[in-house]
Amino acid sequence: MKLVKYKLGRAVSILFLTLTLSLFSFKPIAPEEGMFLLSQLGGLDLQKEGLKIPLSEVYNPEGISLIDALVRLDGCTGSFVSNEGLIITNHHCAFGAAAAISSKENNYIENGFYAETIEKEVKTSMTCKITQSYLDVTEKVLKGVDGTMAYDVKNEIISANSKAIIKEETALYPNLKIEISQMSVGKLYTLFRYKVLTDIRLVYVPPRSVGEFGGESDNWVWPRHNADFSYVRAYENDKPFVPKKFLKVNPNGTKENDFVFVLGYPGRTYRHQPYKFLEYQRDEVLPFIANWYEFKIKSMKDWAKNDETREIAVASYIKSLANTSKNFRGKIQGLRRTEVIKEKRDENENLKTFVNHSNDLRANYMGVIEKIDELYDLNISLARRDLLVNELAQSVAVFHAANFINSVNISLINVPKAERKAFLEKNREDLKKGLQPNYRIYDAELDKAYLTKLLLDMNDLPETLKPIFLKDIKGKGDTKTNIINFVNRLYKKSKLKDAKKSWELFENDLQKFVKQKEPMIAFAANVSLEATLYQKALADRNGQISALMPKFTEIKMKYHEGTFVPDANSTLRLTYGHVKGYSPEDGVYNKPFTYLKGILEKAQESGDFYLPSNILNTYKSVQAADNLIDKTANDVTVALLYNLDTTGGNSGSPVLDANGDLIGVNFDRAFTATINDYAWNEQYSRSIGVDIRFVLYVMKYVGKTDRLINELNVKL
């Protein structure tokens, strides 16, 4: 395969372009649907839709274009807006960084953060990835694979091939991060080269009352009135990074029906999954996670109540849980209110008929869809038990640590005793990475509450699903009382509940750490025997589904011919559309802009709509610069609504006008659009951005960030 090298941001080789367009040739079902690969842009008539610049200025394989200004900022998107590495993204994307440097004395979450000089910019743990190039490696990844192989064998070959390719590429490009992404299950694989910058510094984060105005009350809804933006700066070799391209800010904003487009790194979508997958999500996974997260949120809020230090400690985590929970509630509502699952079910039946009526198709695809349905029915029937048991190690930190210790001891069985200490030291960093993610204890009582809740919920399962290990929890009285007393005994005797001391032991005497014994470790070992069987069975079912999915995808591609658009997978994409309102329900029409007066109408002295008096007075009294005012409303525009196809990962994506200038920052979807991950529909799919005019207003009159406004080369 020929790889065509290019300057920063070059998107694809000529070969990959040809291959992708042949595999994913399309005519979108709706003209503005799609999270399009850059290699597909040549098949779009963006000028007809309203783009005023040549496509080569958006994406140019031979030179510099707008995509060179885009960055992947951890799980968000960002974009360079100056030649000194200044990046604009969302407030919620930098929230964790602000929380990490906050304290009771310097609460940057509540009060905001502004580095008045470049020297005062604060380093964060954030990383920035810039796409350098990508190419098709399907042939290499699938070398040695054939359709008759068992899934686990096939997966081992794919994994080994991918590792070999990454190793080879890393040797050729030691300064780049090499990743291989699956673009279509078992069918198409793409190698990406990223430049990674690890020195990302906090520059400006508005106060929480501004950046998160409306809180969870307004999250995932429209109308919105929050300034969800922030600035960080990328550094390289301790100097501001100089990008090949940065975006020009248009302080005049946009207007209704104007053409707009978004570049970014949308996360995972599931639009080409079988309809049973959607039932599995709607009836089992989504409600379970939403309910569980809400329990955790309430528990943490009760624990942190009236204690500012505790509130700071859990703020970022609560925000993340609440965001996911409400998103999942929206998905559940959307899947129940719309015809999406019915349409998928009808499509499923049509696909079966399509296969059964063709001799050629029957030979290769007979029974594929029926088998997928059967496997998902099994997943659905066992889902609640599997989800509850899985959550033990995910949410209960002490249990996670105990389970981790058991797994390490199992791995030591085949290591001679004299060599075990050396073995542990050799693998210290990998062990640390395995323990860290879920061994975070804010408070032992919180952790205990999580374990108690999970075990009680397991006890409420039908007898045929109830885990056997619950029968070992004995005592006088009813089972519920026995469970509560059992958990109390576990934590009373546990040393692992003191995470600080445990980590000290881990660092000072790793062998002693893994040799320790306590009731929680014994309990975790007992659970693990059974949980491993559940996990293996689930993995086997999912493996069978994954093995069938390439053929399922082939059936869909043959059936739909020119209307197949691939799912998003956190790689660089473009979506386009127009600034546009909508009717979310009968008798209601939502206009596409909100204004400063809406903040004044919502503002309260406490709660989600709290505004400090100084900021409230600013909103009331400041005469904004003329170019920040929408003349049709005689007010400052705050947020805008558009019918683009976005999802998680597009947080922080630049909203660009017909000239490719920055007129907003994408941060959310309307509640009805949370099902974008499963289906897109122009009637209810709307995305939300903070208008650049409000961004500049907050910067000028609230943050007093004149040095940044000058860096943006904006005149107010």
Q: What is the mean pLDDT of the chain?
A: 90
> CATH code for 1-269+565-716?
2.40.10.120
* CB distance 407 to 399 below 8 Å: no
- Say what the pLDDT of residue 7 is: 30
Burial of 686 (0-12, 13-18, 19+ CB in 10 A): buried
- Say what the pLDDT of residue 610 is: 96
- Say what the pLDDT of residue 550 is: 87
Which pLDDT band holds residue 671 (cuts at 50, 70, 90)?
confident
How far CA 533 is from CA of 380, 468, 540, 636, in Å, comes to: 17, 12, 10, 59
- Say what the pLDDT of residue 151 is: 76
> What CA–CA distance (Å, rounded) separates 151 from 655?
41
* CB distance 263 to 325 below 8 Å: no
534: its two tokens:
């559940």
Which of 19, 22, 6 is CA-nearest to residue 59? 6
Q: Which residue has the tokens 């291989």?
A: 180
Which pLDDT band holds residue 24 (cuts at 50, 70, 90)?
very low
Task: Please provide residue 26's backbone torsions phi and psi, each rounded to the nearest 5 degrees.
Answer: -160, 160
**Helix (H, G, I), strand (E, B), or coil: what is residue 1?**
coil
Burial of 445 (0-12, 13-18, 19+ CB in 10 A): exposed
> What CA–CA distance (Å, rounded) separates 364 from 343?
25
> What CA–CA distance (Å, rounded) separates 534 from 561?
39
487: its two tokens:
């958990």
- Say what the pLDDT of residue 124 is: 96
> What CA–CA distance (Å, rounded) separates 518 from 493?
7
Q: Which residues pair with 87 in a beta bridge?
A: 80, 232
Which phi-psi region, left, alpha or beta, contains residue 50 (left: φ > 0; alpha: ψ -120 to 50)? left
- Say what the pLDDT of residue 10 is: 29
- Say what the pLDDT of residue 369 is: 95
| In 561-637, alpha helices (H) | 596-602, 613-621
152: its two tokens:
């686990």
Within 10 angstroms of residue 29's Cβ, the number of other Cβ atoms is 14
- Say what the pLDDT of residue 33 is: 62
User: Hey, where are the domains in the chain?
Assistant: 1-269+565-716, 275-554
Which pLDDT band holds residue 284 (cuts at 50, 70, 90)?
very high
pLDDT value at 6 more than 90: no
> What CA–CA distance (Å, rounded) separates 347 from 350?
5
pTM above 0.75, yes or no: yes
Task: Please provide residue 536's backbone torsions phi and psi, each rounded to the nearest 5 degrees.
Answer: -65, -40
Mean pLDDT of the region 183-201: 90
572: its two tokens:
């660089």
Residues near 498 by beta carbon (within 8 Å), at least 6 away in sequence? 444
- Say what the pLDDT of residue 472 is: 82
| pLDDT tens per residue, range 42-55 | 888 899 999 999 99
| pLDDT tens per residue, range 395-440 | 999 999 999 999 999 999 999 999 999 999 999 999 999 998 899 8
Within 10 angstroms of residue 663's Cβ, the number of other Cβ atoms is 27
Mean pLDDT of the region 473-480: 78
% of the chain exceeding 90 in pLDDT? 75
> What CA–CA distance (Å, rounded) separates 712 from 352?
56
